[in-house]
């Protein structure tokens, strides 16, 4: 397929810089390459147009606009398994499609499949302005939950607009000073011990460590959930349809030509990006 837009995600930046949560450095390097990524072309979320079909592929046609999660997305042309793609609705731009998938599928996995969030529940999203956090705020709100978002003051208005009833400015109120207790706590940014996360839970609540150290991941059980999100095609299709209907905003900080990919990584490496950064090959 020909790539029209691809996200430069926190996942790509981790791999490029070999910057992993505590304890994960060695296993990650063994997986992706000891001295640098064996797979030189990064990128995992993309949108574009089908240019050719592999043998036996009948679900798509040349010329179809598609979006999905697949490796080597930071390229002009890329070979992608058909089952990693879904059709892009005409009323969703390539930028919006590429932006919504990484954070959106992560939010859907943890909130719907793992925590099974329901209407009326209270959800705390720590890191409400990142790619995962901005999606988590919206996915929780669309499920009928009451959302509290933690972010710095500069992003408070954004997180409120995405659907948080309450916004905690992390520069004024540290997470461990939040008095309310929540049915679901989603941690996506900053340091958080499992004990501190648990103490934010209401009875029977669920702590989701989207960002977890190796120790936290190994010890996660019962109310504490961690692990790697699965990007399911059903979730991708649902997210694109929500963007098309205007119910979900794929927050985009900036979309830039491929030639500026180094600058895109600088923004992501700052760990302060707002929503998503895109390149257009
Ligand atoms: N488990 C999985 O399967 C999975 C999947 C996807 C991502 N992840 C991980 O999840 C994490 C989040 O990913 P992402 O793409 O959403 O990251 P991101 O977009 O780079 O997050 C950036 C945001 O984090 C906020 N932030 C920075 N420090 C913070 C703090 N101490 N407290 C609260 N917010 C803070 C920043 O806003 P302010 O500074 O303005 O507050 C910024 O908007 C990454 O570590 C990523 O590796 C895991």
Nearest 5°: the CA angle 223, 161, 120 is 40
Predicted pLDDT of residue 37: 87
Query: What is the number of the ligand 1 atom nearest to the C-alpha of 155?
Result: 40
If you average pLDDT over every residue of the chain, what do you get?
Answer: 97
**Six-digit token string for 11:** 């996942």
Across the range 68-93, mean pLDDT stands at 97
> Regarding the domain with residue range 102-225, which homologous superfamily does it belong to in the CATH classification?
NAD(P)-binding Rossmann-like Domain (3.40.50.720)
> How far is residue 3 from each of residues 39, 235, 257, 280, measured CA to CA in Å?
18, 21, 12, 8
Q: What is the pTM of this model?
A: 0.97
Cα 99 to averaged position of ligand 1 atoms, centre (Å): 15
CB 110 within 8 A of CB 186: yes
pLDDT digits (tens, 9 = 90+) for 41-76: 999 999 999 999 999 999 999 999 999 999 999 999
Q: Give the residue whose CA is nearest to atom 12 of ligand 1.
A: 188
Q: Which of 133, 186, 197 to mutate to test the pocket of ligand 1 (most atoms within 8 A of CB)?
A: 133
Which of 174, 213, 179, 188 has its CA nearest to residue 271?
188
pLDDT band at residue 120 under the 50/70/90 scheme: very high
Is the Cβ atom of 143 under 6 angstroms away from ligand 1?
A: no
Average pLDDT value for residue range 70-86: 97
- Cβ-count burial 183-201 (b if 16+ within 10 Å, e if not): bbbbbbbeebebeebeebb
Host H or E run for residue 156: helix 156-162
Q: Which residue is associated with the tokens 């997470």?
A: 175
- % of the chain residues with pLDDT over 90: 97
pLDDT tens track for 157-215: 999 999 999 999 999 999 999 999 999 999 999 999 999 999 999 999 999 999 999 99
pLDDT for res 35 = 86
User: What percentage of residues in the chain have a pLDDT greater than 70?
Assistant: 100
Strand order in the sheet with 2-7: 85-87, 65-69, 45-49, 2-7, 276-280, 252-257
Question: 141-161, pLDDT tens digit by residue?
Answer: 999 999 999 999 999 999 999
Whole-angstrom distance, CA of residue 103 vs CA of residue 68? 12
Hey, which of 21, 127, 167 would you mutate to test ligand 1's pocket, going by the most ligand atoms within 8 Å of its Cβ?
127
Counting from 1 in the atom list of ligand 1, the atom nearest the Cα of 175 is: 32
155 lines ligand 1 (CB under 6 A): yes
CATH number, span 2-101+232-280: 3.90.180.10
In the chain, domain spans: 2-101+232-280, 102-225
Q: Looking at residue 188, what is its pLDDT?
A: 98
């Amino acid at each position: 397929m020909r790539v029209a837009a691809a996200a430069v995600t926190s996942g790509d930046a981790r791999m490029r810089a070999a910057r992993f949560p505590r304890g994960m450095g060695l296993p990650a390097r063994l997986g992706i390459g000891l001295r640098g990524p064996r797979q030189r072309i990064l990128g995992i979320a993309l949108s574009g147009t089908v240019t050719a079909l592999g043998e036996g592929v009948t679900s798509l046609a040349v010329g179809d606009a598609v979006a999905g999660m697949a490796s080597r997305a930071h390229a002009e042309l890329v070979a992608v398994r058909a089952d990693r793609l879904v059709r892009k609705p005409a009323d969703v731009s390539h930028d919006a499609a590429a932006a919504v998938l990484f954070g959106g599928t992560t939010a859907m996995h943890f909130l719907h499949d793992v925590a099974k969030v329901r209407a009326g529940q209270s959800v705390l999203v720590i890191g409400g302005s990142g790619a995962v956090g901005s999606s988590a705020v919206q996915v929780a709100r669309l499920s009928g939950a009451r959302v509290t978002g933690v972010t710095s003051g500069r992003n408070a208005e954004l997180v409120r607009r995405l659907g948080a009833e309450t916004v905690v400015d992390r520069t004024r109120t540290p997470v461990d000073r939040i008095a309310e207790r929540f049915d679901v706590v989603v941690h996506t940014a900053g340091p958080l011990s499992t004990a501190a996360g648990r103490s934010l839970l209401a009875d029977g609540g669920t702590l989701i460590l989207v960002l977890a150290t190796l120790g936290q991941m190994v010890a996660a059980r019962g109310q504490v959930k961690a692990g790697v999100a699965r990007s399911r095609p059903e979730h991708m299709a649902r997210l694109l349809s929500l963007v098309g209907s205007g119910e979900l905003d794929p927050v985009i900080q900036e979309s830039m030509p491929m030639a500026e990919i180094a600058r895109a990584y600088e923004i992501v490496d700052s760990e302060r990006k707002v929503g998503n950064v895109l390149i257009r090959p």
